[in-house]
């Protein structure tokens, strides 16, 4: 079965520190992978998506970057965190299969930048 | 560009009353449409989805949604709301060009009065 793992679940980081959030998928190959951020009262904002290894599309200019070093691994990074990077980060992938098309989500990472 | 709009940021209904949450999308062809629910501190749960065929789709927890192509809408309904339905609801669309992007609306927070 398809599963998605995201860690850590919570993170408190000081301003200016680096960030690395990891997401891995099991039970599928060559998935479309996504990183979203959910800030309070602002819904789910698509940050990055990837359709394959090394292929990253950025949706919004920001202090973050993403990488896909392996087919089922998607990493969200920052060299220097800002206070505005605080939020809830979700990794997702979706399976395109006609009527079976569905998206799967990680449990999310609550990031607080202090 | 493709987009999803949920016009209502916050809705309050009385327990037992009917509910309709609005969702409008902008896309050149018929997209895949989803409704998700997020309870406080929880991840996203799929309520229902639409791909083709019958424009009225049934989901879990007594929810249904109707796809109206002429109005580019996919509104979520429930005939009688329960207190446990209080949560945030997200409409989402998958665009299957450009490798497919899963885009969410801003979300509608539902409060239920006893």
pLDDT at site B99 = 61
Closest residue in B to A105 (Cα) is B44
Q: Looking at the partner chain, which of B32, B101, B105 has a beta carbon nearest the beta carbon of A43? A: B105
Number of domains, chain A = 1
Residue A93 sits in which domain range?
3-113
Q: What is the rounded CA–CA span in Å between residue B101 and residue B84?
A: 31
Answer whether A102 sits within 8 Å of B44, measured CB to CB: no
Query: Domain holding B52: CATH number?
Result: 2.60.40.10
- Stretch 70-99 of chain A: residues touching chain B, C-beta under 8 Å: 90, 92, 94, 96, 98-99
Q: Looking at the partner chain, which of A36, A51, A102 has a beta carbon nearest the beta carbon of B99? A: A51
B46 chain-A contacts, CB cut-off 8 A: 102-103
> Is any Cβ of chain B less than 8 angstroms from the Cβ of A39?
no
Answer whether B94 sits within 8 Å of A103, measured CB to CB: yes
- Per DSSP, what are the bridge partners of residue A46? A36
Higher local confidence (pLDDT), B99 or A3: A3
Q: What is the mean pLDDT of residues A95-110?
A: 82
Q: Min CA distance, B51 vs chain A (Å)?
A: 6
Query: Domain holding A71: CATH number?
Result: 2.60.40.10
| pLDDT score of B102 more than 90 | no
pLDDT at site B3 = 84
Closest residue in A to B101 (Cα) is A49
Higher local confidence (pLDDT), A60 or B5: B5
| pLDDT score of A96 more than 80 | no
Neighbours of B1 (CB within 10 A): 7
Q: What is the mean pLDDT of residues B36-49?
A: 88
Q: What is the rounded CA–CA span in Å between residue B55 and residue B53?
A: 6
pLDDT tens-digit map of A54-92: 999 988 777 899 999 999 999 999 999 999 999 999 999
pLDDT at site B27 = 77
Residue B81 sits in which domain range?
3-113
Answer whether B104 sits within 8 Å of A102, measured CB to CB: no
Number of domains, chain B = 1
pLDDT at site A103 = 83
Answer whether A99 sits within 8 Å of B101, measured CB to CB: no
Q: Min CA distance, B66 vs chain A (Å)?
A: 16
Q: What is the rounded CA–CA span in Å between residue B68 and residue B14?
A: 27
**Closest of A113, A104, A89, A85 to residue A36, by C-alpha:** A89
**Cα-based torsion angle of the residue sequence B93, B97, B100, B104 in order, rounded to the nearest 10 degrees:** -30
Percent of chain B residues past pLDDT 90, beyond the cut: 67
Residue B97: pLDDT band with limits 50, 70, 90? low
Percent of chain A residues past pLDDT 70, beyond the cut: 97
Answer whether B103 sits within 8 Å of A46, measured CB to CB: yes
If you search the block for the tokens 């919004």, which residue do you land on? Answer: A60
Q: What is the rounded CA–CA span in Å between residue B4 and residue B36?
A: 13
Q: What is the rounded CA–CA span in Å between residue A74 and residue A21?
A: 8
Percent of chain A residues past pLDDT 90, beyond the cut: 58
């Amino acid at each position: 079965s398809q599963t998605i793992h995201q860690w850590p679940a919570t993170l408190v980081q000081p301003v200016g520190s680096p960030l690395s959030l990891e997401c891995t998928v099991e039970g599928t190959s060559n998935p479309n992978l996504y990183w979203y951020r959910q800030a309070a009262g602002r819904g789910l904002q698509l940050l990055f998506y990837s359709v394959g290894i090394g292929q990253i599309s950025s949706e919004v200019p920001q202090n973050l970057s993403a990488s896909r070093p392996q087919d089922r691994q998607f990493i969200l990074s920052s060299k220097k965190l800002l206070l505005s990077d605080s939020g809830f980060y979700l990794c997702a992938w979706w399976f395109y299969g006609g009527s079976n098309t569905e998206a799967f989500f990680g449990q999310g990472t609550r990031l607080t930048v202090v | 560009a493709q987009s999803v709009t949920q016009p209502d940021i916050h809705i309050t209904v009385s327990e037992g009353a009917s509910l309709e949450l609005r969702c409008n999308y902008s896309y050149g062809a018929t997209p895949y449409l989803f409704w998700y629910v997020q309870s406080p501190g929880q991840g996203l749960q799929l309520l229902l989805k639409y791909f083709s065929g019958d424009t009225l789709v049934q989901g879990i927890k007594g929810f249904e949604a109707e796809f109206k192509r002429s109005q580019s809408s996919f509104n979520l309904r429930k005939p009688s709301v329960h207190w446990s339905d209080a949560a945030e609801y997200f409409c989402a669309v998958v665009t299957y060009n450009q490798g497919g992007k899963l885009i969410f609306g801003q979300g509608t927070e539902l409060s239920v009065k006893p």
